Structure 1
Amino acid sequence: MSSIKVIIDNIELCADENKTIMQVAEDADIYIPHLCHHPDLHDVGGCKLCVVEISGKNDIQTACTTKIEEGMIVKTKSEKLDEMRRLSMELMLANHVDDCTTCPKYLKCELQSLIQYLGVSTSRLRRTLNAVPVETENPLIIRDLNRCVACGRCVRACHDIRGVGILDYDKNEEDRIYVGVKNGLSLSDANCRFCGACVEVCPTGALQDKKGVFKDGNRDDVLVPCKHECPAGINVPKYVRYIKDGNFDEAAAVIREKAPFPKSLGLVCMRFCESACRRKDINGAVSIRELKRFASETDSYKWKDKSFKKDKTDKKAAIIGSGPAGLTTAYYLAKLGHAVDVYEKLPVAGGMLSAGIPDYRLPKEVVESEIDVIREAGVNIITNSKVESLKELKENYDAVVIAIGTDKGVRIPIPGSDLKDVYVNIDFLRRDLIDIDIEMKKSVVVLGGGNVAFDCARSAKRLGAESVAVVCLEGKGNMTASDEEIEEAIEEGIQIYNSRTFVKIEDNDGNASGIVCQEVEDFHFDENKKLILNIKENSEHSIKGEMIIFATGQRADLGVFKEIELNGRGLVNIDDCYKTNEDGIFAVGDAVTGTASVIQAIAGARKAVSSIDKYLGGDGVIDEVLSSEQPLDPMIGMEEDFAKKECSHYKCVPVDKRINNFNLMTVGFDTKTAQCEASRCLQCDLRPKLTKAKFWTEYKVK
């Protein structure tokens, strides 16, 4: 590669002789008007906006298609060039809708920016508009040909960058050229891969992402919604692609970079990533959680060779609570070289993972296997050890972290709440660990509509209850429990009563015998967050049950930590660095946020660790690269019936095989199914790799 000298607008430049004038100008941050040009696409010079004058040549040249030559002198500005550009722009605008304010690209449109730069007015144009209906029926993408200027960027992106080739030029009945889909098909039927490259390079509003597909925010983040919505920021497309390619160890390593509980997450994660998955609007989200489970179950732990372990420091940290937040904090602090002791009041470590989520959803041995890895990092876990004094604990440690979670059930103060055989959710789920003598009854009523309520109800069924009912305030479709929990519970014979408020627990000689309810037509919270109910007249009724379980919420048991300031929600008050009001005492997890998911607890703990490590004299850096660099091939190619590839979900053991035991009730993917499901991914992480178009205002020389 040899370098030659050229002059553009009196600026002398050295550049590769194989580059075009446009490329050299862009490298030097010199603006030459353009529309059909895009840095990632081959140039065709179609828009005629990048015209330049070259000394010694009579003809005007297009900068994007003209290669530089030694000593070339280029002029990008003159009255003649401006006139040519304005004419080219007016010809494009003649068939372009004149209403910018209704376009989603308003103030973010390259065409609009060029109109401003060139000073073009549409007032003297002879309009040749031929309005066509806006195509909104395609998944994810809106096509508004009224805003298309036939620059061809989308066509070249589809053919040359992605190798899909479903977009091309066509002519309508009036012999006018337009960009169409192959054979006039819908995007799905034409085998579109929905990668979004065409939308990304479109300089007008002709191709748009449907409203709501992406959230506002940093472009590189929001364009990969699964990763963006994962609280821990796990690189979902990367491990999904590794699974598709058959590299399962690398897939597991990607997950381990952000989360020390991949097996548990593979079974109980709340799937925020799937809720954000763009594929859901085509024919169902990619089953990301199941792919996480598959990767963790096939993990051979080769990632350990790349895992960091810093030299020992002379600092000691105590963690109160061994749930996912506490153990994540302990894990990374130990890897950072600090001595870490974890104090757990229960006989087992794991918090709600081990002592809250039933074994049929998350077996204890799975959690224990992940805790073993945390112990290997140097974490000392002390069970059956309840901390009663922060002051005494702090005397022996440089930092203390409160991570106790919200493991205290809440009884609604209604008549009968203290009767025999009335329990709270956490006590019932931990019945074997906290020495509570619970005699199962034939009929059980669970109050609440969340996942924990269904854990209680389904556990009661497995423990021998013949009749189990879930009664909740929320209407059908608005329950906080996941759809799968509800569906599986119904399969297991659990009855659900929606839109009910609780009046009292019926008393039969000191024993609970049922719950008196009223039907709720609607409810809301006022400005003081007080619940306002609209009760249906004459709707009072009784639902019989010899055991009542409150599953209407839970809170953190912070009574012994009297020196710690709490907020209005009764949770630990912290600053942005997870510090409490007491020096050297931090807090993380549900005690700070309220009851949240496992992945949210992990994410919060990772942030807290950085602050704690800095407090202890470290640099706070916990990021690690456990997986190999993964080259991204933008040429994804066409795949027949790609949009129709069916979604694979986990499989439940048949009801009659699961209803009388606590064995794991789900079956994960086999290799073939996992790779097939991974191949459904739209590979959204390819889109941010496309060069973001620069507006003329962003150039140094314009």
Structure 2
Amino acid sequence: MKLSINGTEVEAAEGQNVLEAALDAGIYIPHLCKHPDLEAVGGCRLCMVEVEGTDGPVCACKTPVAEGMVVSTTGEAAERVRKMAMELILATHPTDCTGCPKYGKCELQSMYQYMGVSPTRWRVKSRPVATDDKNPLITHMFTRCIRCGRCVRACRELRGVGVLDYQHTEEGIRIGTDGSVSLQQAGCRFCGACIEVCPTGSIVDTLNMFDENKSYADNVVPCRSGCPAHVDIPRYLRHIRNGEYTQAAAVVREKVPFPESLGDICVHNCQGACKRNGLNGTPVSVCRLKRAAAVRDEGTWKANVRHEPLTGKRVAVVGAGPAGLTAALYCAEKGHQVKVFEANEKVGGQMRYGIPAYRLPDETVDAEVATILEISQASDPEPRIELACGARVADPKALLSEGFDAVLVTIGTHDGTVLPMAGHDLEGVVRNTDFLKAARRGEAEDLTGLRVMVLGGGNVAYDCARTAVRLGAASVDMACLEAEAVMTSTPEERAEAAEEGVVLHDAYAFTSINESAEGSGKVGSMTIHKIERFYFDENHRAVTELLDGGEMTIDVDRVIFAVGQKPEGTADMGFELTHGPYIVADAEGKTSVEGVWAAGDCVTGTKSVIAAIAAGRECASAIDRALGGDGEIDGELTEHEAPCQHIGRAPEGFYGEAVQPQFRDAEERKHDFDVFECPYTEQEATCEASRCLQCDLRLTLTSPRLWNEY
């Protein structure tokens, strides 16, 4: 139907009100109680308009459109009611806007500026109601509340939670919970819908929760932005909660080709970013849930894999670790022929040779590599990815003259670091990389009856220590410079190792490795010294102050250095290097040699499998663009269904600790390299996925447009 608003003919759908018709036509009418996702209630009196043939101004949000209706938004009577309503709202509102979290984005501020209501006309009445900052994640500043009721309706109508309502208090009517109990006691899901619809910044995210250097979306969904590959975590957790494991695995595979491996060994940055850390200190077990989906994946998503036509371009990948294999897959999907050169006898890189089998078995790596080869292959007569194992490439740039159009170097960091301390050259001193690789190959020394000292405090050091336990060591000690509270290893890694008998000496300096009493040139003991203070000076040099009388000597037969690792052979490859052997590459992975890219640990230093995968993705995209493609490697492997907005009150157990999977007993597991942690059962997975706060639902709500956007 057609109507006239301010002399402009407007088309409106039957059932719309005047406010909706005007806004759809780009004609602004002030309004507060109406939100794009909520029905209007006509309470704010700011959307007053005049309709020809009607006595007095009416609420635009409560007036249905009619054929031939003539509407004026600027009539004198409507303006008078509107300004009076605004002045009444402002009478108890703080006059200082600059300290408000919504300054510059506040709907109220936008409206009084549009209406020309001057602050000098405000008859301000003090409303000193204390801010409620006792709840986690959400702060309620009552002095900024204008009682529009949006938060109440969003909580009730959009989310089906219904813990907020108008409350009669000694300070007057305000928004709160029945009985003034905490949000947690009331059953709040902490979904943030109330924050999203609040027009004034009365309900906000807890102070300092957001990083000003990140986008709003990244701050709202920190797990997704915290993941180096930006896996859509809330989306796949919803699938798991619904028992849709193949769909969940497909969502993960849209960003990474190693879901089960990551489910076993990922450093899970996402869990460190999870908002549940601020709720009860226990994040959702995103990593374990990834594994729960991967082990139940039926693979129906494979039919949706991208297979672009062959381009005739050839890409060489040097190094078949997670970065190299990831890049190979995406380059193949974009139509390029890929040959992967691997120096070792099998592919997998550090996933195979740097991580113990009790954490990540060969079978898992083999299966995921096989899937990569399978899904990369289209109907072409020749495979799109060719693997060449036992093929060490000393000069990657030379491959450009051998028919390859682009070269990617992803050789990892397989050269362990040995500190040049006294005794470092004694027999029995071992590098972490050599030790772990030998164990994975079944070539490790039998340590039965021997005493082992591991130097280092990261997860790799613990891998070495727990591997030594499984090789029969009589005792395993660990020493590291850091105090336990700041060690880079995960708390669960330390706890599991302690159960297996590993003894930690944290905050100790390494003094010397001592020769055995027989003078045989072999290790006999290790001297370490307790650190009283450790810091970096103004030149960023480490300063260690030792505790008087804190020296200790421990009898050992083997010393394993796990204090770092670096790339091998880069000095002779002709690239610009930094910090010794690391390859210099820009944000796209381009090296100093035209046509050659580099990614992963050989560029960044040893990080993580997920970081290497993310780097491989970036390089695949950049290489495709360089070869004439569009660089678009993202795909949709399963239908992207809109999430259900109606989530209901917090179920039983919602505020509890994370669900723990079953573990093999320490006395049993320390004698073999079998996987010791069982995947979640379906019931465990459902319970754990249900703990997700579903932060991403906030981003599905419509952001109201301010008047200057019309």
Of residues 30-39 and 390-399 in structure 1, the stretch that sits farther from structure 2 once superposed is 390-399
Q: CA RMSD in A?
A: 2.0
Residue 46 of structure 1 and its aligned partner are, at CA, apart by 0.9
1:46 match: 43
Q: The residue matched to 2:316 in structure 1 has which SS?
A: strand
1:507 match: 515
1:340 match: 338
Residue 98 of structure 1 and its aligned partner are, at CA, apart by 3.6
Per-residue Cα deviation, 1:669-693 (whole angstroms, up to 9, x for no partner): 1111111211222222211110112
Partner of residue 197 from structure 2, selected from 191, 196, 201 = 201
Q: Distance in 2 between matches of 1:501 and 1:597?
A: 26
C-alpha change, 1:171 and 1:405, in structure 2 (3 Å) is same
Matched, 1:327 2:325: yes
Q: 1:267–1:290: 8 Å Cα contact kept in structure 2?
A: yes
Paired AA for residue 174 in structure 2 = Y
Of residues 507-516 and 664-673 in structure 1, the stretch that sits farther from structure 2 once superposed is 507-516
Residue 584 of structure 1 and its aligned partner are, at CA, apart by 1.6
Paired AA for residue 521 in structure 1 = E
**Superposition map of 1:168-317 within 5 A:** 168-173=165-170, 176-216=172-212, 217-283=214-280, 284-317=282-315
C-alpha change, 1:639 and 1:533, in structure 2 (3 Å) is closer
Q: Distance in 2 between matches of 1:101 and 1:392?
A: 60
Paired AA for residue 388 in structure 1 = A
Q: 1:192–1:643: 8 Å Cα contact kept in structure 2?
A: no
5+ residue gaps, structure 1 = none
C-alpha change, 1:158 and 1:149, in structure 2 (3 Å) is same
2:396 match: 390
C-alpha change, 1:433 and 1:481, in structure 2 (3 Å) is closer
Matched, 1:533 2:544: yes
2:671 match: 660
Provide the TM-score with structure 2 as the length reference.
0.94
Q: The residue matched to 1:666 in structure 2 has which SS?
A: coil
C-alpha change, 1:562 and 1:73, in structure 2 (3 Å) is same
Q: 2:229–2:611: 8 Å Cα contact kept in structure 1?
A: yes
Residue 185 of structure 1 and its aligned partner are, at CA, apart by 1.9
Q: The residue matched to 1:516 in structure 2 has which SS?
A: strand
Q: Distance in 2 between matches of 1:89 and 1:101?
A: 20
Q: The residue matched to 2:289 in structure 1 has which SS?
A: helix
Q: Distance in 2 between matches of 1:434 and 1:675?
A: 37
Residue 529 of structure 1 and its aligned partner are, at CA, apart by 3.4
Residue 434 of structure 1 and its aligned partner are, at CA, apart by 7.8
Q: Distance in 2 between matches of 1:14 and 1:642?
A: 51
Residue 452 of structure 1 and its aligned partner are, at CA, apart by 0.2
Q: The residue matched to 1:489 in structure 2 has which SS?
A: helix
1:677 match: 688
Of residues 98-107 and 194-203 in structure 1, the stretch that sits farther from structure 2 once superposed is 98-107
Q: The residue matched to 1:286 in structure 2 has which SS?
A: coil
2:94 match: 97
Per-residue Cα deviation, 1:221-277 (whole angstroms, up to 9, x for no partner): 432222121111111111111111121111111111111101100101111111122
C-alpha change, 1:569 and 1:17, in structure 2 (3 Å) is farther
Q: Distance in 2 between matches of 1:220 and 1:7?
A: 39
Residue 551 of structure 1 and its aligned partner are, at CA, apart by 0.7
Q: The residue matched to 1:326 in structure 2 has which SS?
A: helix
Partner of residue 363 from structure 1, selected from 358, 361, 370 = 361
Q: The residue matched to 1:579 in structure 2 has which SS?
A: coil
Q: Distance in 2 between matches of 1:474 and 1:500?
A: 7
Of residues 44-53 and 533-542 in structure 1, the stretch that sits farther from structure 2 once superposed is 533-542
Q: The residue matched to 2:454 in structure 1 has which SS?
A: strand
2:499 match: 491
Per-residue Cα deviation, 1:279-328 (whole angstroms, up to 9, x for no partner): 23223221111111010000111111111222333222221111100111
Paired AA for residue 633 in structure 2 = I
Q: 1:421–1:546: 8 Å Cα contact kept in structure 2?
A: yes
1:628 match: 639
Q: Distance in 2 between matches of 1:188 and 1:437?
A: 53
Matched, 1:482 2:490: yes
Matched, 1:85 2:82: yes
Matched, 1:581 2:592: yes
Paired AA for residue 352 in structure 1 = Q
2:466 match: 458
Paired AA for residue 285 in structure 1 = P
1:418 match: 425
Q: 1:213–1:278: 8 Å Cα contact kept in structure 2?
A: no
2:481 match: 473
Q: Distance in 1 between matches of 2:237 and 2:573?
A: 47
Q: Distance in 2 between matches of 1:189 and 1:583?
A: 61
Q: Distance in 1 between matches of 2:349 and 2:275?
A: 34
Paired AA for residue 470 in structure 1 = M
Paired AA for residue 262 in structure 2 = L
Q: 1:474–1:499: 8 Å Cα contact kept in structure 2?
A: yes
Paired AA for residue 42 in structure 2 = G
Q: How many residues are matched?
A: 695
2:55 match: 58
Q: Distance in 2 between matches of 1:593 and 1:561?
A: 19
Q: Distance in 2 between matches of 1:594 and 1:569?
A: 11
5+ residue gaps, structure 2 = 377-382
Q: Distance in 2 between matches of 1:516 and 1:258?
A: 47
1:132 match: 129
Paired AA for residue 513 in structure 1 = G
Residue 543 of structure 1 and its aligned partner are, at CA, apart by 3.1
Paired AA for residue 3 in structure 2 = V
Q: 1:277–1:286: 8 Å Cα contact kept in structure 2?
A: yes
1:36 match: 33
Residue 657 of structure 1 and its aligned partner are, at CA, apart by 1.2
Paired AA for residue 452 in structure 1 = V
Q: Distance in 2 between matches of 1:230 and 1:673?
A: 23
Per-residue Cα deviation, 1:132-165 (whole angstroms, up to 9, x for no partner): 3221121211112222111000011111111111
Paired AA for residue 53 in structure 1 = E
Of residues 351-360 and 565-574 in structure 1, the stretch that sits farther from structure 2 once superposed is 565-574
Q: Distance in 2 between matches of 1:118 and 1:313?
A: 60
Q: 1:291–1:674: 8 Å Cα contact kept in structure 2?
A: yes
Paired AA for residue 585 in structure 2 = I
